[in-house]
Structure 1
Amino acid sequence: MADYRLETSWRPVENSFGRLTFTLFNLSTEPLSGFSLAYTTETRVADNHVCDGGSLKRQVAHFHEFLPPEGLSVRPGGHWRFTVEGLTREPKHVSAGVKSAYLTLAEGRHVPVEFSDLHLEGRDGGAAAPLLPVGSVPDPYSLLPWPLLLGLKAGELPVILYPAEKTRPDAIKSLSLVLALYQRLYPAANAPFSLSAIKGGRAIRFATESSIAGSAYELRFTAHEIVLSSADEAGRQYGLISLAQLMHGARADRERFKFPNFGTIADQPRYDWRGCHLDVARQFYPVADVNRLIDILAWNKLNIFHWHLTDDEAWRLEIKAYPALTEIGARRGPDEVLVPQLGDGAETRAGHYTQDDVRQIVAHAASLHIEVVPEIDIPGHGTATLLSLPELVDGQEAPASYRAVQGYPNNALNPAVEFTYEFLGKVFDEVVALFPSEYLHIGGDEVAQRAWLTSPLCSALMEREKLAGTPELQAYFLRRIKTMLSERGRKLAGWNEVSHGGGVDRDGTLLMAWEQPAVGIELAQQGYNVVITPGQAYYLDMAQSEAWAEPGAAWAGYSSPEHTYAYEAEDDLPEALQEKMRGIQACIWTENFVSRGYFNRLVFPRLSAVAEAAWTPLTRKDWDRFAAIVRMWPIL
């Protein structure tokens, strides 16, 4: 138990974003004086604010440090209270408060402070709603995503499934891989498959059919065997996952789900790009967690893992040419170059992936037919990069001359510093050696409107190249980056802002529409290939109802699992542009994921809802059926 505790509450105030009240309790046996209080939160204090009972000493994005009035001493059992009015946004949910806190004592020692979620003053915030109805299953089969065509008759549940005699070694290997996947996801359940025949089981006969589309499969059930037909390994894997799902449901809920004895399943994915993104910069996830998430993606028949490896808060990928990127940029703490953010407390938090870690994760994903797309977020979101390598900065640029939406000052790599391109060239050389993916994602999002405009080097570049303003400077930068990627055999992927300022060559460029659903249409009209991932439906950090008690972010409103499930990315896309739509993607941004409980509540079941939208045609979707099945699906 800590010796100090911080309680925070918020109350609405007319014509402002409200007032925060902080109360620090001294639970120790000694008086407390000569200290400062530091905490992290997404509810940031604005430049113009009023603080009663204390003063803001320092703020860096989500990090705040306050001082008590001079001479204040808090007796044992006593408290210090101060209020702040003047915020950058109005808190909407319980998780919008403090995410970590610590004191710096007079002698310089940092000590932890316990804290609670943000309390709402003066009114009832409502209850967090149940995320799922009980659901119903008109067809008693546990398959998710639901297949394209299904005509089955239920029968007796086999003891186990096993390969027929004379099955080829490659099919045996596929069966073994899916068996291992199932055992990792459901370690306490009985295995659905055996590699050898078992009495009471049913044989699987594998057939290769060149007429079947890539990644598609067909299952034909008879009383004596199951025939799994596919044209490729991916289709074979998806068919085996479907068999494992059928077995799992029929065993786990025998009243509701059955196993088929007769009939067929013919199935194929709706989109080529069925993605899930994970931000590991705000919160670091160890290799075991990343591998488990990849297993969950495979179980849901998703095929892209978009790995967000760098941001303002951290650089998480080992680059041998620049060890400072992780020696400095992967560490946050009170005495580190990067101050605490979003859950960091009195102790330094550090974490990055070695190149051996990456090779293992990429190989694990590839074995499950998942492509890992790395993201190196440039030119914005570069605080960790710039603090790790100060030679990337134009030293003549006015400090704090612009600020990103998250509050970071001067956080974008400078397009006029030639070392920027030397640095990125060496980074890309190591990245492409680690990731065999078709695309390398370069971010390109949220560069502040007036970025670089006080940089003398950028002023000279703008005059020389006849560029006007930040968007055209960014487009100049990104066109050079696209050329560098092409020279390394990679295509450019990025967020929708890559199109700003004239954008880049459309050929071989894939952009992700996140700001508004309509942005995807605009990008397709401009000639870009598009992945649809709107914050209003597919950002899994958004709260799931408007109730105060529901955790999550609020900038895009809220998105219930039913809304995420029902959202149709193609709804307003003209038929002539549909060939530009590559697919859809869920995004897991981790500012709010300071606990495993919050992660699982926010990500699941919405991840599976996106997976079904990516695989299953609209006419085959059924919310009640999905709700009945998804409650059996694995979480992190």
Structure 2
Amino acid sequence: MPERLLVPRPAEHLPGEGEGFGLDADTRIDADAAAGGTAAWLRAELGAATGLPLAPGDGGGPLIRLRVDATAGLGAEGYRLAVDASGARITGHDAAGVFYGAQTLRQLLPASAYRRAPLDTGAWTLPAVRITDRPRFGWRGCMLDVARHFMPKHDVLRFIDLMALHKLNVLHLHLTDDQGWRIEIKRYPRLTEVASWRRESQVGAAQPPVFDGRPHGGFYTQDDIREIVGYAAARHITVVPEIDVPGHSQAAIAAHPELGAGERLEVGTEWGIIDNVLDVSDTVLEFYRTVFDEVMELFPGEYICVGGDECPKKQWKASESAQARIEAEGLADEDELQSWFIRHFDDHFTARGRRLLGWDEILQGGLAPGATVVSWQGTEGGVAAARAGHDVVMCPTRTSYLDYRQSAGEEPIPVGTVLGLADVYAADPVPAELTGPEARHVIGAQVNVWTEHMDSPRTVDYMVFPRLSAFAEAVWWAGERDYTEFLPRLESHLERLDAIGVEYRPLDGPRPWQLRPGVKGRGRAD
């Protein structure tokens, strides 16, 4: 199987000797303890597609052998895959490396290896190869917005599988916003009783706004979250939760008016930046400390995202309590007030061994000492943070916003500027103006899936794929990228997505049923 069929492209791919290795009823999967999770995953996935038992252990016959060896010189998440007539051997620097090697092994088989039941396709043969591989970045992420349009749990699990297929390792889960609160908090049940649904949703971006008149809602119980986190961890994906503060909080204020200016609000039904923001009282701080404490119990990863983006200051300028806080803390203005608010939670997380993550607006008024910045408003925020010694995740709108239109032609609810497949593939996450030491603070990149205009998992499929496939190579492959070389490999990769049932955007444009005739979108100057 030539290298052109693999996505993302491996660092080193050499042909092996002989005719390769055929899977049959006698083939076994043998793993050491550290690779046992990957063995179970591979047995389940290939067993479903091939109908083969792939029994555990070494029976002396055909064998797929999985091993972790930190002394093999492969680097974090790196692996070596060797296939010859005697079998297949995957050695990983760590358990994640073994898993990525198994993902590559699966890609060496026909696309029907991604189906859930066997087809009458004949022999299952792995070609003779020797592949050595490791990722360029440690943070290879995707932000999924389940606040604007709720994604049922089984679709989130499917999305995790698709991320794992592409060797991505961070799911940034946007759980709260003006239009919905999606996570159960035991201390505050009104957050799901009231804030998890809205009476209707804006459709498109016409002005004045048009609404569908249909209630929308949903939330994840704490057991759902534990399942999502565990399912992702088994695929070496860390789930980073986002609870957005102090802006994008109208849903929470609708459930608890004391969090805002005190007026009665409903959960947001319109898209865009909304003036209603959190108050800065001790009551609000205590409320969100409790929320974040429950969140940290559910998400064991290092990072907790506080959002921090698009926080209008209009209410704070008119608020007696906000102005009193500015005076009491010796702050210069409302920007420093937002910084003070974010620093409070940076201290709270640091005391619990966690790290604060926030959008680049958290630079305004001064950056919290332990903060990692997600740079979305171009690259300027990321450059400033890296030069100040802070870690950065790059996701500028022009290259990373998968809600943006995919062509200048007819697209469903076209928003933003054109962000085509080739644009995503060509983007370099590291800004050219950074020096070597500064660039080391760019720990990776992510793409963002904002779902105001994605009201179903089918629509998410269309907007995300195959652009996510292009992004996956951009953050995995460390060499020079050539779109003309990538495209033939992607065309073969689309056969895998077809077998899975992903309703991606065809390379030549949308199918008729993927359009939204008559629904107005919006442009964007940047």
Aligned with 2:162: secondary structure?
helix
Q: Report the counterpart of residue 414 of structure 1 in structure 2.
A: 279
1:608 CA displacement: 1.2
Match of 2:249 among 382, 386, 401: 382
Aligned with 1:466: secondary structure?
coil
Q: Identity across aligned pairs (percent)?
A: 36
- More displaced stretch, 622-631 vs 222-231: 622-631
Q: Does 1:466 align with 2:327?
A: no
1:430 CA displacement: 0.7
1:282 CA displacement: 0.6
Q: Report the counterpart of residue 411 of structure 2 in structure 1.
A: 550
Match of 1:366 among 208, 233, 245: 233
Aligned with 1:633: secondary structure?
helix
1:196 CA displacement: 5.6
Question: Compared with structure 1, are the counterparts of its residues 156 and 434 closer, same or farther at alpha carbon in structure 2 (3 Å cutoff)?
Answer: same
CA distance in 1, matches of 2:148, 2:17: 47
- Say which structure is richer in strand: 1
Q: Report the counterpart of residue 567 of structure 1 in structure 2.
A: 427
Question: Compared with structure 1, are the counterparts of its residues 340 and 398 closer, same or farther at alpha carbon in structure 2 (3 Å cutoff)?
Answer: closer
Q: Does 1:203 align with 2:66?
A: no
C-alpha contact (below 8 Å) 1:380/1:446 kept by paired residues: yes
Q: Report the counterpart of residue 138 of structure 2 in structure 1.
A: 272
Q: Does 1:350 align with 2:217?
A: yes
Question: Compared with structure 1, are the counterparts of its residues 600 and 451 closer, same or farther at alpha carbon in structure 2 (3 Å cutoff)?
Answer: same
Cα deviation 1:39-72 (Å, max 9, x = unaligned): xxxxxxxxxxxxxxxxxxxxxxxxxxxxxxxxxx
CA distance in 2, matches of 1:356, 1:315: 16
Counterpart residue type for residue 323 of structure 1: P
Q: Report the counterpart of residue 336 of structure 1 in structure 2.
A: none
CA distance in 2, matches of 1:204, 1:182: 12
Counterpart residue type for residue 429 of structure 2: A
1:530 CA displacement: 0.3
1:151 CA displacement: 0.7
Q: Does 1:317 align with 2:183?
A: yes
Residue correspondence of structure 1 range 585-600 to structure 2 within 5 A: 585-600=446-461
- Say which structure is richer in helix: 2
1:466 CA displacement: 2.6
Match of 1:577 among 399, 423, 438: 438
Match of 2:474 among 613, 620, 623: 613
C-alpha contact (below 8 Å) 1:552/1:602 kept by paired residues: no
CA distance in 2, matches of 1:196, 1:461: 63
Question: Compared with structure 1, are the counterparts of its residues 340 and 541 closer, same or farther at alpha carbon in structure 2 (3 Å cutoff)?
Answer: closer
Cα deviation 1:133-170 (Å, max 9, x = unaligned): xxxx9x35532111111111486464427766865455
CA distance in 2, matches of 1:469, 1:192: 67
C-alpha contact (below 8 Å) 1:163/1:196 kept by paired residues: no
RMSD, matched Cα: 3.0
Counterpart residue type for residue 220 of structure 2: Y
Q: Does 1:148 align with 2:11?
A: yes
C-alpha contact (below 8 Å) 2:28/2:55 kept by paired residues: no
Unaligned runs of 5+ residues in structure 2 are 115-120, 205-210, 504-526
CA distance in 2, matches of 1:461, 1:173: 51
Cα deviation 1:278-302 (Å, max 9, x = unaligned): 1001100111000000111111111
Question: Compared with structure 1, are the counterparts of its residues 236 and 387 closer, same or farther at alpha carbon in structure 2 (3 Å cutoff)?
Answer: same
Q: Report the counterpart of residue 290 of structure 1 in structure 2.
A: 156
Counterpart residue type for residue 219 of structure 1: L
CA distance in 1, matches of 2:46, 2:143: 22
1:260 CA displacement: 2.2
Residue correspondence of structure 1 range 385-464 to structure 2 within 5 A: 385-395=252-262, 406-410=272-276, 412-415=277-280, 417-464=281-328
Aligned with 1:235: secondary structure?
helix
Aligned with 1:425: secondary structure?
helix
1:258 CA displacement: 8.3
How many residue pairs match? The answer is: 475
1:571 CA displacement: 4.7
Counterpart residue type for residue 168 of structure 2: L
Question: Compared with structure 1, are the counterparts of its residues 464 and 599 closer, same or farther at alpha carbon in structure 2 (3 Å cutoff)?
Answer: same
Q: Report the counterpart of residue 510 of structure 2 in structure 1.
A: none
Counterpart residue type for residue 543 of structure 1: R
1:464 CA displacement: 2.1
Cα deviation 1:378-411 (Å, max 9, x = unaligned): 010011011110111244x999xxxx9915232x
Counterpart residue type for residue 306 of structure 2: I
C-alpha contact (below 8 Å) 2:326/2:334 kept by paired residues: no
1:214 CA displacement: 2.3
Match of 1:304 among 170, 185, 199: 170
Counterpart residue type for residue 206 of structure 1: L
Question: Compared with structure 1, are the counterparts of its residues 501 and 221 closer, same or farther at alpha carbon in structure 2 (3 Å cutoff)?
Answer: same
Question: Compared with structure 1, are the counterparts of its residues 398 and 251 closer, same or farther at alpha carbon in structure 2 (3 Å cutoff)?
Answer: closer
C-alpha contact (below 8 Å) 1:517/1:532 kept by paired residues: yes
Aligned with 1:381: secondary structure?
coil
> If the length of structure 1 is used for normalisation, what is the TM-score?
0.69
CA distance in 1, matches of 2:196, 2:229: 21
Q: Report the counterpart of residue 347 of structure 2 in structure 1.
A: 483
C-alpha contact (below 8 Å) 2:372/2:391 kept by paired residues: yes
1:461 CA displacement: 1.5
1:347 CA displacement: 3.9
Counterpart residue type for residue 321 of structure 1: R
Question: Compared with structure 1, are the counterparts of its residues 444 and 626 closer, same or farther at alpha carbon in structure 2 (3 Å cutoff)?
Answer: farther
Q: Report the counterpart of residue 326 of structure 1 in structure 2.
A: 192
CA distance in 1, matches of 2:29, 2:230: 30
Q: Does 1:494 align with 2:358?
A: yes
CA distance in 1, matches of 2:189, 2:138: 36
CA distance in 2, matches of 1:169, 1:488: 31
1:486 CA displacement: 1.7
Counterpart residue type for residue 618 of structure 1: G
* Structure showing greater Rg: 1
C-alpha contact (below 8 Å) 1:176/1:195 kept by paired residues: no
Match of 2:79 among 217, 234, 240: 217
Aligned with 1:244: secondary structure?
helix
Aligned with 2:102: secondary structure?
helix
C-alpha contact (below 8 Å) 2:66/2:89 kept by paired residues: yes
Cα deviation 1:293-348 (Å, max 9, x = unaligned): 01111111111111100000001100011111111101111xxxxx5445874442
Cα deviation 1:24-53 (Å, max 9, x = unaligned): xxxxxxxxxxxxxxxxxxxxxxxxxxxxxx
Counterpart residue type for residue 344 of structure 2: R
CA distance in 1, matches of 2:162, 2:184: 26
Match of 1:245 among 107, 110, 113: 107
Question: Compared with structure 1, are the counterparts of its residues 391 and 251 closer, same or farther at alpha carbon in structure 2 (3 Å cutoff)?
Answer: closer
C-alpha contact (below 8 Å) 2:68/2:91 kept by paired residues: yes
Question: Compared with structure 1, are the counterparts of its residues 458 and 144 closer, same or farther at alpha carbon in structure 2 (3 Å cutoff)?
Answer: same
CA distance in 2, matches of 1:210, 1:197: 22
Counterpart residue type for residue 437 of structure 1: G
